Structure 1
Amino acid sequence: MALPENGAAWPPPQWAPYYAEMRVDDAWYSGDTRRLARIRGEHDEAPTRRGPWNRRRAQPARLRGRLHVPLPSDIAAVSAHLLFGDMPSVSVDDKATQDRLNTLVDEGAIQQTLHGGAEQGSALSGVYLRATWDRDLIDRPILSVVQPDNVAPEFRWGMLRAATLWRDLSGSTASTMFRHVERHEPGRILHGLYEGTPDSLGRAVPLAEHPETADLAGSLGEDGVTVTTGITDLTIVYVPNIGPNRVHRSSPMGRSDFQGIRDVFEAIDDVWTSWMRDIRLARARLIVPDGYLRDYGPGQGAGFDDDREVWHSLKMPPNEGSAITLSQFEIRVEEHQRSTEALTRQAAQSAGYSAQSFGLDANGSPITATEVDSRDALSMVTRKKKTGYWRQPLAHILHVLLQLDAVHFARAIKPDRPRVEFGDGVAESEQSTATTLDLLARAGAVSTATKVRWLHPEWEDGEVNVEVAAILRETGAADAPDPGGTYPL
Structure 2
Amino acid sequence: MPLPERDQEWPPPHMKREMRLYEEWGAWYAGDPDQLAQVYGSGQVHAIGLDPKGWDRPSKGFSGWIQRAARWFWGTPVPLGQVRSTKLHIPIAGDIAATSADLLFSEPPTLRVPGKTSQKRLDKIMHEAGIYGALLEAAEIGSAYGGAYLRAGWDTEMYDHPVMSVLPPDAAVPEFRYGKLAAVTFWRVLAEDDRSRQVWRHLERHEKGRVYHGLFLGTQDRLGKQVPLEDHPETEIYASQVDEDGGFDSRYPRGLLVSYIPNMRPHRLIRGTSLGRSDYQGVEHLMDALDEVWTSLMRDIRIGKGRVIAPDIFLDNLGRGQGASWDPDREIYSGLGMLPAPGSAANSMLTVMQFAIRVKEHVDAGKAFVAQILRGAGYSAQSFGEVDGSGQAVTATEVHSREKKSFSSRGRKTGYWNPTLQWAPDVLLSLDHAIFGKKVSAEKGEVHWPDGVQPDPEALGRTVELLNRAMAVSLETKIRMVHPEWDDHQVTEEKNRLRDELGLNVPDPDTLGQVLVPGTGDDE
**TM-score, length basis structure 2:** 0.82
After superposition, the C-alpha distances for 1:128-161 in whole angstroms (9 at most, x for unaligned) are: 1111112222222220011101100111111111
Structure 1 residues 454 and 186: CA distance shift in structure 2, 3 A: same
**Cα distance in 1 between the residues matched to 2:428 and 2:250:** 11
Q: CA deviation at 1:204?
A: 0.5
Which of 120, 128, 145 does residue 107 from structure 1 map onto?
Answer: 128
Tell me whether 1:283 sits opposite 2:309 in the alignment: no
Stretches of 4+ aligned residues off by more than 6 angstroms: 438-442, 467-471
Which residue is 2:222 aligned to? 200
User: How many angstroms apart in 2 are the aligned matches of 1:63 and 1:300?
Assistant: 29
Change (3 A) 1:398 1:303: farther
Which residue pairs with 1:231 in the alignment?
A: 252
Q: Which letter does structure 2 place at the counterpart of 1:425?
A: G
> Residue 179 of structure 2: which of 152, 158, 162 is its match?
158
Match of 2:436 in 1: 409
Aligned to 2:518: 473
**Mapped contact 1:391–1:421 kept (Cα < 8 A):** no
Residue 199 of structure 2: aligned partner: 177
> Structure 1-normalised TM-score?
0.88
Partner of 1:79: 100
* Number of residue pairs the alignment of both structures matches: 465
Matched, 1:93 2:128: no
The aligned residue for residue 455 of structure 2 is 428
- Residues 34-53 of structure 1 aligned to structure 2 (within 5 Å): 34-43=34-43
Pair 1:304 & 2:320 matched? no
Shift of 1:182: 0.5
Q: Is the 8 A contact 1:38 1:44 kept in 2?
A: no
Q: 1:127 to 1:406 in 2, by over 3 A?
A: same
Shift of residue 439, structure 1, vs aligned partner = 7.9
2:424 alignment counterpart: 397
Aligned to 1:326: 352
1:169 alignment partner, SS class: strand
Structure 1 position 353 matched with structure 2 position 398: no
- Identical counterparts, % of pairs: 40
* Cα displacement string for residues 337-379 of structure 1 (whole angstroms, at most 9, x for unaligned residues): 1111111011001101001112212425543322221211111
| Larger displacement relative to structure 2 (131-140 or 448-457) | 448-457
Matching residue's letter, 2:26: D
CA deviations on 1:233-272 (whole Å, 9 max, x unpaired) are: 2100100011111111211110000000000001100110
Matching residue's letter, 1:154: E
Structure-2 change in CA distance of 1:115 and 1:94 (3 Å): same
| SS of residue matched to 2:224 | strand
Cα shift at 1:96: 1.4
TM superposition shift of 1:94: 1.3
Asked if 1:246 corresponds to 2:280, the answer is no
* Contact kept in structure 1, 2:146 and 2:264, CA below 8 Å: yes
Provide the secondary structure at the position in 1 that maps to 2:280. coil
Question: In angstroms, what is the RMSD of aligned CA positions?
Answer: 2.7
* Residue-by-residue CA offset, 1:88-108 (whole Å, 9 max, x unaligned): 111212111111111111111
Contact 2:460 2:482 in 1 (8 A): yes
Counterpart mapping for 1:133-144 below 5 A? 133-144=154-165
Q: In terms of mean alpha carbon deviation, does 64-73 or 163-172 score higher?
A: 163-172
Match for 1:178: what amino acid?
W
Gap regions ≥5 residues in structure 1? 46-56, 479-487
Give the C-alpha shift of residue 186 in structure 1.
Answer: 0.9
Structure 1 residue 187 and structure 2 residue 209: aligned? yes
What is the one-letter code of the residue matched to 2:23? R
